[in-house]
Structure 1
Amino acid sequence: MPTKTPTPTDFPSHLKVTITHPPTPSTAPAPNILLLLHGLGDTAAAFTSFARALQLPETTVVTVQAPAPLPFDLGGFHWGDDVAFDTGTGGLDMDAGLTRSTATLVDDVIRGCLLGKCGYALREIIVLGFGQGGMAGLVAARELGLGRGSSEQQDQLQQQQQQQQTGALAGVISIGAPYPLSGSRAGAKNRSPVLLVAGRDSVAVSDAAVRRTEEVFEFVELSRYARKGDGMPSNRDEMLPVMQFFARRLRSRQGVPEGSVEIT
Structure 2
Amino acid sequence: MPTKTPTPSDFPSELTVTVTPAPPSPSPSKSTSPAPNILLLLHGLGDTATSFTKFAEAIRLPETTIVTVQGTAPLPFDLGGFHWGDDVSFDSATGALDMDAGLTRSTKTLVSDVVRGALVQKCGYALREIMVLGFGQGGMAALAIAREIGLKENGNVGNGGIGALSGVISIGAPYPLSGSRVGDKNRTPVLLIAGRDSVAVSDEAVRRTKQVFEFVEVSRYARRGDGMPSSREEMLPVMQFFARRLRSRQGVPEGSVEIS
Bigger shift: 159-168 or 54-63? Answer: 159-168
The SS at the match of 2:18 is strand
Query: For residue 185 of structure 1, what is the amino acid of its counterpart?
Result: R
Indicate how the Cα distance of structure 1 residues 96 and 263 shifts in structure 2: closer, same or farther if over 3 A, else same: closer
Deviation, 1:161, is: 3.5
Q: Does residue 125 of structure 1 match 2:125?
A: no
Aligned to 2:45: 40
1:95-138 CA distance string (max 9 Å, x none):
00000000011000000000000000000000000000000000
Choose from 76, 82, 86 the match for 1:81.
86
Deviation, 1:32, is: 0.1
The SS at the match of 1:104 is helix
Q: Which runs of 4+ in 1 moved over 6 A?
A: none
Deviation, 1:263, is: 11
Indicate how the Cα distance of structure 1 residues 85 and 55 shifts in structure 2: closer, same or farther if over 3 A, else same: same
Is there any run of 5+ residues in structure 2 with no aligned partner, and where?
26-30, 253-257
Choose from 54, 63, 67 the match for 1:49.
54
Is residue 124–residue 159 contact of structure 2 (8 Å, CA) maintained in 1?
Answer: no
Structure-2-length-normalised TM-score: 0.93
Query: For residue 51 of structure 2, what is the amino acid of its counterpart?
Result: A
Aligned to 2:17: 17
Bigger shift: 124-133 or 23-32? Answer: 23-32
Aligned alpha-carbon RMSD (Å): 1.6
Is there any run of 5+ residues in structure 1 with no aligned partner, and where?
150-158, 257-261
Aligned to 2:28: none
The SS at the match of 2:145 is helix
Aligned to 1:237: 233
1:80-103 CA distance string (max 9 Å, x none):
000000011110000000000000
The SS at the match of 1:247 is helix
Choose from 52, 71, 75 the match for 1:70.
75
Aligned to 1:205: 201
> Identical aligned pairs, as a percentage?
77
Is residue 111–residue 165 contact of structure 1 (8 Å, CA) maintained in 2?
Answer: no
1:51-77 CA distance string (max 9 Å, x none):
011110000000000110000000000
Report matched runs for 1:154-165 at 5 Å.
161=157, 164-165=160-161
Choose from 171, 188, 204 the match for 2:167.
171
Choose from 219, 224, 238 the match for 2:220.
224
